[in-house]
Amino acid sequence: MSLTTREWHFARRPAGLPAPETYRLVERELPALRPGQCLVRNLVLSVDPYMRSRMDDVPSYVPPFQLGEALTGGAVGEVIETRSDEVPLGSWLVHQAGWREHAVVDAAAGRVVDKGRYPSSYHLGVLGGPGFAAFAGLFRSAGFQPGDSVFVSGAAGAVGSMVGQFASLAGATRVVGSAGSAEKVRYLVDELGYDAAFNYKDGPVLDQLRSAFPDGFDVFFDNVGSDHLAAAVEVLNESGRVAMCGTISTYNSAEHDAVPVNAFKIVAKRLRLQGFIAFDHEDLREEFGAQVESWLETGRLTYRETASQGIEAVPEALAGMLTGANIGKAIIRLADDPL
């Protein structure tokens, strides 16, 4: 099958928030399939914070994007042609060749998921990378135990919105989140069941955190870094644990450690700060899927998305996510889920 499609290419490394000139929308003809490959019509694309860090030419846990090449990201697509026995025609494939309308994907680089049991976008959110990061970070990296009290920064985002609910469902005594607007604070408390939440723009994070936890807390799940991490070190109880998932406050800044952390408190309190990358914990994938699907089926888990429409929406959607415009998972819908 010969097919012409559109995809976003990386045109210029940004300084600060990515601008329209960072990208270029390119039309190209896809190559013929080789054995073991399939052709995918993307239904939905993922928009994630790590995409911004890959735009900087610095070493990280994934290689940086290369100028002039097609950008990539999580996607779910319908297989419209296949030369793989493992990927049936018409199936849904989760893969990393996003930022484009169609993709040629090696079967070994994708994961077939149940078609129609859940909306395709769920496999990029609650059942995908953000949900898995929340699960691995909370239960393994932070070593959460029933009875722990938990603070989540960036709590209204794709990962944070899952962490607080997972903690509550697993027996936390108190769950508090921070967010960047009054609307998000209401969402955390009224819809997600957080015990309390605060707007970090309303005053110093340290003061608001101390007010939320007058007796300290046990686990910090950090998506923000900066002043949130510094404040948490001050308020955490002895032997407190920190799962460091992201530092979105610094992704558009050259000052990656602009807020100092009291290292002496880390020592004196015997705190454990653990950075983690979700894909290092693939052995948890089956447990994660079974548990989260159970919570979804019983209606105990709330999931929300902020959706943009069409391939042209990619640059604006990424900028919006990086500046806090989304509630829950940010996605781009390219086509309706086929029946």
Q: How confident is the model at residue 260 (pLDDT cuts 50, 70, 90)?
A: confident
The confidence score (pLDDT) of residue 9 equals 98
Average pLDDT over residues 274-293: 96
Residues 6+ apart with CB under 8 A from 183: 327
42 pairs with which residues across the strands?
A: 77
Average pLDDT over residues 257-278: 90
Long-range contacts of residues 256-259, Cβ cutoff 8 Å, at least 24 apart: 258/226, 259/225, 259/226, 259/227, 259/229, 259/230
Q: What angle, rounded to 10 degrees, do the helices at 285-297 and 129-136 form? A: 110
Distance, CA of 49 to CA of 41 (rounded, Å): 24
Superfamily of chain region 4-124+304-333: Medium-chain alcohol dehydrogenases, catalytic domain (3.90.180.10)
Start and end residues for every CATH 3.90.180.10 domain found in the chain: 4-124+304-333
pTM above 0.75, yes or no: yes
Nearest to 147 by CA among 177, 163, 168: 168
CATH 3.40.50.720 fits 129-279, yes or no: yes
Q: Which tokens in the block code for residue 174?
A: 């108190």
**Above 60 in pLDDT, residue 297?**
yes
According to DSSP, the β-strands at 4-10 and 23-29 are antiparallel
Q: Which tokens in the block code for residue 83?
A: 């030369």
Quick: pLDDT tens for 66-119.
Answer: 999 999 999 999 999 999 999 999 999 999 999 999 999 999 999 999 998 999
- The single-letter code of the amino acid at 126 is V
Distance, CA of 212 to CA of 192 (rounded, Å): 17
Average pLDDT over residues 145-150: 98
241 pairs with which residues across the strands?
A: 219, 272
Query: Is 326 in contact with 320 (CB distance < 8 Å)?
Result: yes
Quick: pLDDT tens for 192-234.
Answer: 999 999 999 999 999 999 999 999 999 999 999 989 999 999 9
Q: How confident is the model at residue 258 (pLDDT cuts 50, 70, 90)?
A: low
**Complete DSSP assignment for 115-168:** SSSS-GGGGGTTTSHHHHHHHHIIIIIS---TT-EEEESSTTBTTHHHHHHHHH
The confidence score (pLDDT) of residue 38 equals 97
What percent of the chain lies above the pLDDT cut of 70?
96
The confidence score (pLDDT) of residue 81 equals 97
